[in-house]
Structure 1
Amino acid sequence: MPTPHVEAVKLDELDCWRIRHNDAELMVAQQGAHIVSYQRRGEQPLIWQNPEAMFKTGKGIRTGVPVCWPWFGIFDRNPQSVKAMRQSEQPAGAHGFVRTALWTLGEVTPIADALQLDFLLPVPAGGFPGWPHQVDLKLSLLLDDQLHIRLTSHNRGTDTVTLSQALHTYFAVSDVRNVQVEGLDEHSYIDTADGWTKKHQAGPLHFTAETDRIYLDTPAQLNLVDKDWQRRIQLTSQGSKSTVVWNPWTERAKALDDMADDGWQGMLCIETANVLDDTVALAPGESHTLGLSIAAIAL
């Protein structure tokens, strides 16, 4: 069995771990337990490596896989049950607070020819500022011939806790104008780029303009087909019935200080989520796992 190699490295202000196992290399930042990159030897990267990403203390990273928790997106767009969990008069940042929190690396466990890494978020005795709940959070990564991501929330408090969340994955593509997403045909979605109107998907999803959509009741498997790179990225989700698809296109990209003006061309976010009516309510003692498995398959 190959010996896994875990190395501490620094990306600007952030401490990270570089993990090499078999043909895979994975980079994870301590801030946010944020997957910065993932690539298999001899293949195109699966995770978009944004050359303009900022690795600054307290700032969300625009690349890889941000963990959005315990709310997703703009706070006020969340259901009342999620908003009621927060107890603060201060403005709430988008996508929750754990993506800028410092996680710890727990066990690193070889399993047959695979490798599992557990990242843990310590919860202060009184909960987090403005969010006083006792919910343990663990991000488990399993490296075999795929990348498996599992985000587990465990309520060890005495009250039910309701949350929304997402694995906000930035996928690398040859050119977003030449790819398509399969598996969303006949599904309804909320078009947040068009006044949050409800629409219906017909056929594979292609990209010709800014896209920001919340798909509802989505299946467990989606495919991102990239003919130029001759591959299909197969996405298999767990504990999720909602999917967010996002690309900023030209004008939005120009307004972002951590993306090149043409950076939108090489990325597509497909976010495995629990949002809108798909929120998670955890009774005392209950756990929920939001999962995503990523596999590259040659066309």
Structure 2
Amino acid sequence: MTSEQLNAEFGIPEHLVFLDGPGGLVQARMTCPWGAAVVSTYAAQVLSYVPAGAAQDLLFVSEQANYQAGKAIKGGMPVCWPWFGPDPQGMGRPQHGFVRNRQWQVTGSHRSANGEIRLVLGVTDTDETRQLWPSAFALRIEITLGQALQVTLVTENRSDAAMEIGQALHTYFRVGDVNRARVVGLEGVTYIDKLDGGIEKVQRGTVTVSGPLDRIYLEPTTELVLEDPVFERAIKIRSNGSRSAVVWNPWVEQAAAMGDFGDLEYLQMLCVETTNAGPDRVSIAPGGTYRLGVDIQAKRI
């Protein structure tokens, strides 16, 4: 649907407006008393979340991001599904699954009595997806803008057999200086160090960044905090349906190697991801559903 058609069917005057964004990809602009958010209908990807009164976006999007059909948008909150990371079967299928570079359909919008704005997008299996992954499915994302940003990914198994998935809400947070940021809440948690041969280690103290990071934390607490002294804020990250969390920063060499990422942008971001990753995989019975969600809220420090 065009932005004009989406506004006619799903727009909410002054609160939810659809417009043509970079590359002609349609974006939804959400506004409520507590803040504003931008969502790309392509990839169903939250690109921006600015709480009311905040000087800086909570989310990071690369200035070199691709806004082109068939390409992933580097930043915001990409949806990784039905696997996280490389193709688990080594068949050459796309990294992080096949829904982050696909057009989703807007299926609903609502403004609640308390002023919250909700946007729902969905995608279902097609002949093309079944060539990549045989299962019949319906996937939807519910994005609610209120006192926090709430994002929930809902998987429905429409096939006759159990469905096993990995997934992530791969959130890129903007930070003032990644060298000074830290993640609180993972102390004592076992993690898989993907940069050290997949060895399991135990987190000592808070998570800080002084080099490349790619870690899957196993059985973390449901609430993590990203402290950012430069922007004078603490971002509370509350997850549900997740038994793992990923912390990632590309650092110097990988940042320079990515064509859709600035050489120095690694200093401005840190991924703290709500996941079912590594050994944390989800089995969904025929006709069943599974919900993976995250709530994000910031306070000044």
Does the pair score TM above 0.5?
yes
- Aligned counterpart in structure 2 of residue 52 of structure 1, from 57, 64, 68: 64
Residues of 1 paired with 2:128 and 2:13: CA distance?
42
Residues of 2 paired with 1:131 and 1:122: CA distance?
12
Correspondence for 2:3: none
Cα offsets for 1:61-109 (capped at 9, x unmatched): 1110110000000113xxxxxx4xxxxx962111000001110111111
1:25 paired to 2:27: no
Correspondence for 1:63: 75
- What residue identity is the alignment partner of 2:203? Q
Residues of 2 paired with 1:27 and 1:143: CA distance?
10
Residues of 1 paired with 2:173 and 2:272: CA distance?
7
Contact 1:127 1:134 in 2 (8 A): no
SS at match of 1:193: coil
Correspondence for 2:261: 259
Contact 1:141 1:148 in 2 (8 A): yes
SS at match of 2:155: strand
Alignment of 1:107-146 (within 5 A): 107-112=108-113, 113-124=115-126, 128-146=130-148
Structure 1 pair 7–22 and aligned structure 2 pair: CA distance change class (3 A) = farther
Structure 1 pair 138–66 and aligned structure 2 pair: CA distance change class (3 A) = same
- What residue identity is the alignment partner of 2:43? G
- What residue identity is the alignment partner of 1:119? L
TM-score by structure 1 length?
Answer: 0.92
Residues of 2 paired with 1:257 and 1:126: CA distance?
27
- Aligned counterpart in structure 2 of residue 293 of structure 1, from 272, 295, 298: 295
- What residue identity is the alignment partner of 1:206? T
Cα offsets for 1:105-147 (capped at 9, x unmatched): 1111112221111111132278532212111101000111110
Correspondence for 2:100: 99
- What residue identity is the alignment partner of 1:100? N
Correspondence for 2:50: 39
- What residue identity is the alignment partner of 1:25? A
- What residue identity is the alignment partner of 1:148? Q
Q: Which sections of structure 1, spanning at least 5 residues, go unmatched?
A: 77-82, 84-88
Residues of 1 paired with 2:159 and 2:136: CA distance?
5
Using the TM superposition, give the Cα deviation of residue 22 of structure 1 relative to its aligned residue in structure 2, in angstroms: 2.6
Measured on the aligned residues, the alpha-carbon RMSD in Å equals 1.8
Residues of 1 paired with 2:132 and 2:297: CA distance?
38
Residues of 2 paired with 1:129 and 1:15: CA distance?
27
Using the TM superposition, give the Cα deviation of residue 28 of structure 1 relative to its aligned residue in structure 2, in angstroms: 1.4
1:203 paired to 2:214: no
Residues of 1 paired with 2:128 and 2:283: CA distance?
20
Residues of 2 paired with 1:13 and 1:2: CA distance?
22
- What residue identity is the alignment partner of 1:277? P
Contact 2:110 2:117 in 1 (8 A): yes
SS at match of 2:43: coil
Correspondence for 2:271: 269
Correspondence for 1:212: 214
Structure 1 pair 259–127 and aligned structure 2 pair: CA distance change class (3 A) = closer
Using the TM superposition, give the Cα deviation of residue 38 of structure 1 relative to its aligned residue in structure 2, in angstroms: 1.5
Contact 2:31 2:117 in 1 (8 A): no
Contact 1:170 1:268 in 2 (8 A): yes
Bigger Cα displacement from structure 2, 23-32 vs 262-271? 23-32
Residues of 2 paired with 1:115 and 1:22: CA distance?
10
Residues of 2 paired with 1:284 and 1:138: CA distance?
17
Residues of 1 paired with 2:134 and 2:19: CA distance?
32
Percent of residue pairs bearing the same amino acid type: 35
Residues of 2 paired with 1:49 and 1:278: CA distance?
27
Q: Which sections of structure 2, spanning at least 5 residues, go unmatched?
A: 1-11
Residues of 2 paired with 1:295 and 1:49: CA distance?
18
TM-score by structure 2 length?
Answer: 0.91
Contact 2:243 2:276 in 1 (8 A): yes
Contact 2:158 2:287 in 1 (8 A): yes
SS at match of 1:253: helix
Residues of 1 paired with 2:293 and 2:13: CA distance?
26
Using the TM superposition, give the Cα deviation of residue 258 of structure 1 relative to its aligned residue in structure 2, in angstroms: 0.9
Contact 2:20 2:27 in 1 (8 A): yes
Residues of 1 paired with 2:217 and 2:157: CA distance?
27
Residues of 2 paired with 1:64 and 1:202: CA distance?
29
Using the TM superposition, give the Cα deviation of residue 3 of structure 1 relative to its aligned residue in structure 2, in angstroms: 4.7
Residues of 2 paired with 1:220 and 1:42: CA distance?
27
Residues of 1 paired with 2:133 and 2:112: CA distance?
36
Report the count of equivalent residues. 288
- What residue identity is the alignment partner of 1:46? L
